[in-house]
A and B are shown apart, each in its own frame.
Chain A
Amino acid sequence: MKNRLRVLRAEKGWSQAELAEQLNIARQSVNAIENGKADPSLPLGMRIARVFGLPVEAIFEDEV
């Protein structure tokens, strides 16, 4: 699944570690999601959306 996490994080000026701390996940997990190596579950996806103040579909995009 494609996502805009890296761009949004850069806009906020957060490091991977800072975002990871807000989401209560490991920094490596943020890196894996940004690089498309892992897809977050719906609850984690919604937590990410809440942190950025955006709807889920503005961050994640399916590859149909």
Chain B
Amino acid sequence: MAYSAKKHRMLSGGAVALGLAGMAMVAWLTGNHADPGSLGLFRVVLALVVVGIGLRGYSYMDEVQRQAAQKRWFWGSLIGIAAMLPLVVFLQTHKPWLDTAVQFIFHQPAKPALYFNLRIGIPVMFQCASVLVMKLLDKLRQSSAP
């Protein structure tokens, strides 16, 4: 696929926006006692659409940008996993605290489905946040380069 900055920006921005909106909607539906089966299906469809749009955006990068993105995702994912470990250990060893926090945030008693969401959500969020930080650092480095 030929390089196109405009198409890449539009598609990757769209994937991020749709992902964030979808995550907010999943949280809202979970808090409003949505049917777990439909919610699960919604999550799968949302993930497929976001990944599909993201990959389409990736295909409009040039080869140097692709190399940089691959490095960023590799190291960002590793750093994200390492960074989440203290939180995971904390949550595992403070279960009553976690139950109270879940009840406070979602206004309902903690359920296994909610913990399943947290188990999936925490690594993904940490990895994405870490990749975004690396991207920001790259941008800062580029702007200070000669």
Contact = CB atoms under 8 A, between A and B. Distances in A.
A24 B67 contact: no
Interface string B1-31: 0110100000000000000000000000000
Interface residues of B, number: 13
A38 B62 contact: no
A35 B141 CA distance: 12
Given A24-B62, A25-B62, A31-B145, A38 B67 contact: yes
A56 interface: no
Interface string B44-69: 00000000000000000111110110
Contacts of A28: 64-65, 142
A31 B64 CA distance: 10
Nearest to A44: B63
A13 B129 CA distance: 40
Contact of A38 (B2, B64, B146): B64
A31 B61 CA distance: 15
A25 B5 CA distance: 9
B146 to A, nearest CB: 8
Contacts of B68: 32, 38
A44 B62 CA distance: 10
Given A25-B3, A26-B62, A28-B142, 19 more contacts: A24-B2, A24-B62, A25-B64, A25-B65, A26-B3, A26-B5, A26-B65, A28-B64, A29-B63, A29-B64, A29-B65, A31-B142, A31-B145, A32-B64, A32-B68, A35-B145, A40-B63, A40-B64, A44-B64
13 contacts: A24-B3, A24-B62, A26-B5, A26-B62, A28-B142, A29-B62, A31-B142, A31-B145, A32-B64, A32-B68, A33-B64, A38-B64, A44-B64
